[in-house]
């Protein structure tokens, strides 16, 4: 009599979850569509669609994984975008990123490491690692470690 056998298919192009301004959410969010954050979240986010952190949004997370991620607020944590990651001029990201495409506007803040992926699926969670080969220049590579007159190294080639 009350049986409901309908299967609901969410559209990853739509936003079905909104954490509004003044709201606080603690825990893991998993969504088949998009998520917009204007409030405060403490926890991980896994999303088939897009994640948008609005100007008033504040996220503290180990990992945000989504198709596209737009940051106009503050994010403390790692971000993995299967396609594009955008940090607007008012956005602040403190964490490592992995994306196919990256856009960082002038005036934004980004502190962390970035890795550009070639496919549509992110690799394993981001971990900062440096191999011995990356730490030492090869003999066939140009010497980008020449000292300036004041003894400082101008830049390091990775």
Domain ranges of the chain: 15-118
Region 33-39 average pLDDT: 94
In the block, tokens 């970035």 appear at 114
CA-based torsion, 100, 28, 71, 155: positive or negative: negative
Other CB atoms within 10 Å distance of the CB of residue 72: 22
For every residue of 31-96, DSSP letters joined together read ESSEEEESSEEES-EEESS-EEE-TT-EEEEEEEEES-EEESSEEEEEEEESSEEEE-TT-EEES-
Whole-angstrom Cα distance, residue 81 to residue 49?
10
Residue 136 pLDDT: 44
Average pLDDT, the chain: 79
Q: Could you identify the residue written with the tokens 């204007």?
A: 38
pLDDT of residue 121: 52
pLDDT at residue 6 in the model? 55
Q: Please, which pLDDT band fits residue 20 given cuts at 50, 70 and 90?
A: very high
> Could you tell me the pTM of the whole model?
0.68
């Amino acid at each position: 009599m009350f049986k409901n056998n309908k299967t609901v298919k969410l559209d990853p192009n739509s936003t079905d979850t909104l954490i509004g301004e003044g709201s606080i959410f603690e825990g893991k969010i998993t969504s088949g569509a998009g998520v917009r954050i204007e409030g405060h979240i403490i926890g991980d986010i896994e999303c088939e669609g897009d994640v948008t952190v609005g100007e008033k949004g504040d996220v503290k997370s180990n990992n945000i994984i989504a198709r596209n991620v737009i940051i106009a607020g503050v994010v403390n944590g790692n971000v993995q975008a299967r396609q594009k990651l955008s940090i607007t001029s008012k956005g602040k990201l403190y964490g490592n990123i992995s994306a196919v495409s990256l856009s960082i506007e002038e005036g934004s803040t980004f502190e962390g490491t970035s890795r550009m992926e070639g496919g549509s699926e992110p690799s394993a969670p981001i971990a900062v690692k440096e191999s011995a080969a990356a730490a030492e220049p090869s003999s066939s590579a140009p010497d980008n470690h020449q000292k300036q007159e004041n003894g400082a190294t101008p830049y390091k080639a990775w």
